[in-house]
Amino acid sequence: DVVLTQTPPTLSATIGQSVSISCRSSQSLLHSNGNTYLHWLLQRPGQSPQLLIYLVSRLESGVPNRFSGSGSGTDFTLKISGVEAEDLGVYYCVQGTHAPWTFGGGTKLELK
Amino acid sequence: EVQLVESGGGLVQPGRSLKLSCAASGFTFSNYYMAWVRQAPKKGLEWVATISTSGSRTYYPDSVKGRFTISRDNAKSSLYLQMNSLKSEDTATYYCARLWSFWGPGTMVTVSS
């Protein structure tokens, strides 16, 4: 199975600070069809996950553009350019290139 | 507005069965692959099952293969998860998801004697 390793596991930030979360895969997530099925989710406390970024870098409708995704192959990054209070929660990367689909262990974003 | 609402969770003894349902609205259900994802208490997310638009193709991780069955009724805009031979490690909140854009609020399943 593909293992997604997220770092750091916990991230402390102040409002307005820019932060990055890394997601490294145990194998390339480039599908034979040319797509890379790596997505980012945010789970706020007590809520269901919500999609932020899909296919590495595409911003989901309604998601603020302070969120951005980048990467290729096995290394991926989610960047938040100017953390806001509503961004607190646990961030997950998820891959859908290789069965079984797998999630990263999560990165908890806290206020410093 | 897209809505997904799960139901059917509860307390069940090990070895017994439970069937979860997910009522979908606000979109053309038959056009989308659907999935179940679970989250054990204070743990991360785990993919449980996916079903194609027609229901002809289903996918499972080894952890539930042979015990869980995903199905759908496009006429009723409903998704189901039949869970058999339940184990304590199946205790989790189960989410219905329209990959990956929309998620339901989840339904809790507790497997305990």
Note down pLDDT in tens along chain B; length 113 residues: 999 999 999 999 999 999 999 999 999 999 999 999 999 999 999 999 999 999 999 999 999 999 999 999 999 999 999 999 999 999 999 999 998 899 999 999 999 99
Q: Using a CB–CB cutoff of 8 Å, tell me whether A38 touches chain B.
A: no
Q: Using a CB–CB cutoff of 8 Å, tell me whether A108 touches chain B.
A: no
Kindly list the residues from chain B whose CB atom is less than 8 angstroms away from the CB atom of residue A101. 47, 50, 61
DSSP character string of B17-50: -EEEEEEEESS-GGGS-EEEEEE-TT--EEEEEE
Closest CA to A14 of A64, A80, A75: A80
Q: CA B90 to CA B93: how far, in whole Å?
A: 9
Q: What is the pLDDT of residue A112?
A: 86
In chain A, % of residues over pLDDT 90? 96
Q: Using a CB–CB cutoff of 8 Å, tell me whether B11 touches chain A.
A: no
Give the position of tokens 């998601």: A63
List the pLDDT tens digit at each of the 112 positions of chain A: 999 999 999 999 999 999 999 999 999 999 999 999 999 999 999 999 999 999 999 999 999 999 999 999 999 999 999 999 999 999 999 999 998 899 999 999 998 8
Q: What is the pLDDT of residue B99?
A: 85
Give the angle subtended at the CA of A16 by the CAs of A10 and A17, to the nearest 5°: 45
The answer to whether A100 contacts B106, with C-beta atoms less than 8 Å apart, is no
